[in-house]
């Protein structure tokens, strides 16, 4: 079953604006990861944040993790049309081999 | 970054035929590979976890005799959809990891259409 729940399910913004996506999960985790998927393609790893970290940056991406609330957010700053894609969070739990993916957020950046 | 190659990218077949999809890690040894199925505008549904040299672990509800997985080497896993039917039409994606619970590298996916 899917542990991660993401909101919003779909987000449409203007180019240049910031986009924020949220992910909630239910069990204790080792790390939480964010992936991006362009239509009809495989997923690409964006960023990994460990359970003892609260915030992480990578270029225009900023990820936060609140283990007390079991939630994470992905912020994309200064969005571009090329950021249009689906974004998935995935959680890794202690002792588990597999990642559990959320339902995803479909992001559309309008030029 | 590490590269995972998945072939074919698209296949159209007649009902009743079998289709084999290959997933290769090109520049690293993948101790574990995962196979997913994805319906339009939905998330990935994990089908099975494939460990090199051992039998795959299938998720609940996935027929192991229908979806045959072979992981004979550290760089190759295959998924065979046996006696495919129209309801098997879907997007199939593989992923590989070198270390448990660390980031995954995904193939580009295979769109299967069964007529």
What six digits make up the tokens of A81? 């049309």
**What's the number of CA atoms in the CB half-sphere (13 Å) around residue B95?**
28
Interface of B with A (CB under 8 A): 1, 4, 6, 32, 34, 41-44, 46, 49, 91, 93, 95, 100-109, 111
What six digits make up the tokens of A6? 């993401």
pLDDT digits (tens, 9 = 90+) for B37-91: 999 888 999 999 998 888 899 999 999 999 999 988 889 999 999 999 999 999 9
Contacts of B112 (CB under 8 A, 6+ apart): B11, B13, B19, B21, B81, B84, B88, B89, B90, B91, B92
pLDDT the model gives residue B103? 86
Average pLDDT, chain A: 92
Out of A2-6, A79-83, A101-105, B93-97, pick the least confident: A2-6
pLDDT digits (tens, 9 = 90+) for A62-100: 999 999 999 999 999 999 999 999 999 999 887 777 888
Mean pLDDT of all residues in A5-25: 94
Nearest to B109 by CA among A103, A46, A38: A38
CB distance B103 to A48 below 8 Å: yes
CA angle A111, A21, B90 (to 5 degrees): 85
Q: How far is A21 from chain B (nearest CA, A)?
A: 15
Per DSSP, the three-state class of A110 is strand
CB nearest to A41's CB, from B104, B105, B108: B108
Average pLDDT, chain B: 92
Rounded distance between C-alpha atoms, residue A15 and residue A12, angstroms: 10
Q: How far is B82 from chain A (nearest CA, A)?
A: 23
Looking at domain A5-110, its CATH superfamily turns out to be Immunoglobulins (2.60.40.10)
Rounded distance between C-alpha atoms, residue B44 and residue B40, angstroms: 10
């Amino acid at each position: 079953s899917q542990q991660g729940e993401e909101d919003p399910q779909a987000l449409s913004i203007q180019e240049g604006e910031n986009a924020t996506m949220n992910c909630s999960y239910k069990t204790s985790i080792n790390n939480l990861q964010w992936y991006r998927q362009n239509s009809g393609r495989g997923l690409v790893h964006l960023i990994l944040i460990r359970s003892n970290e609260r915030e992480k940056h990578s270029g225009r991406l900023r990820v936060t993790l609140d283990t007390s609330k079991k939630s994470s957010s992905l912020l994309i700053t200064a969005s571009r049309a090329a950021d249009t894609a689906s974004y998935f969070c995935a959680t890794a739990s202690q002792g588990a081999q597999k990642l559990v993916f959320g339902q995803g957020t479909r992001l559309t950046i309008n030029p | 970054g590490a590269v995972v190659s998945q072939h074919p990218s698209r296949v159209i077949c007649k009902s009743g035929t079998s289709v084999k999809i290959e997933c290769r890690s090109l520049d690293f040894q993948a101790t574990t590979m995962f196979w997913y199925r994805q319906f339009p505008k939905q998330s990935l549904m994990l089908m099975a976890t494939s460990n090199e040299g051992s039998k795959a672990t299938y998720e609940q509800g996935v027929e192991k005799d229908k979806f045959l997985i072979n992981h004979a080497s550290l760089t190759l896993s295959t998924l065979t959809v046996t006696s495919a039917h129209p309801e098997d039409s879907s997007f199939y994606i593989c992923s590989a990891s070198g270390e448990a619970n660390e980031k995954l590298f995904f193939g580009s996916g295979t769109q299967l259409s069964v007529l």
